[in-house]
Amino acid sequence: MDNIASNICAQGDLITTDPAFMEKENEVQNVLYLHTRNLNYGKLGQGCLIQVSSPLIKRQKVHFVNLPCGVSIILGRNGFIWVTSTNIQESSRKNGGFTPLLKAIPLNERDNITRICKCIKALAKHHVLLYDTSICTAFDISKQYQIIFYIKRNKNTF
C-alpha cells in the first residue's frame, strides 16, 4: 500500500483526507489509515495554506466550500485552511484528482485569494468562528479597501 501512495504523492506534499481508523501496530507505534472517498480528497496544489486555532473552525456538514468570489476553501477541523481558485479546484475534480496546473492564476483571482486569506487571518485574530458566511461577510466588507492598501496596512498585524 505504501508503494501505491508513493506513486501519487511525495514526502512533503500537501493532501486532504479523512482519517478512517487507527490500528495499534506494537507497544510504541500506531498506524493511522487515511481515506480518500472521492475526488474532493487528494493532493493539493496552487493555493495558500493558513493555520488557525482549531476551535475557530465551525463544525459543519461540509467543509469544502466554493465562495461566490471564485475562491474555494477547505476548512480543516485541525485548524488548517486551504485557499485556492475555484477554477483550479474544479479542474482537478474533472480530471480525476490532482493535475499539476502550471499556468499562472489570473490577477483578479489572486487578489481574491489574497483578500480571503487576509480576512480569515483577521477573523481568527479576533476569535470569530470561521465558516462560509463569516468569511464571505468579511470579504464583502474588505472590498471597500484597495488590495495594496489592505496588504500594507495589515502587513505587521498578522
What is the per-residue pLDDT across 139-158, written as a single tens digit (0 to 9) for each? 999 999 877 655 555 554 44
Judge whether 1 lies within some domain. no
Euclidean distance between CA atoms 119 and 137, whole angstroms: 9
Judge whether 76 lies within some domain. yes
Judge whether 115 lies within some domain. yes
How much is the pLDDT for 36?
A: 63
Judge whether 13 lies within some domain. no
3-state DSSP assignment of residue 49: strand
How much is the pLDDT for 123?
A: 96
Domain that holds residue 134: 45-154
CA-wise closest residue to 92 among 15, 11, 10, 6: 15
Count of the separate structural domains present in the chain:
1
Q: Kindly report the average pLDDT of the chain as a whole number.
A: 78
Does the model's pTM come out above 0.85? no
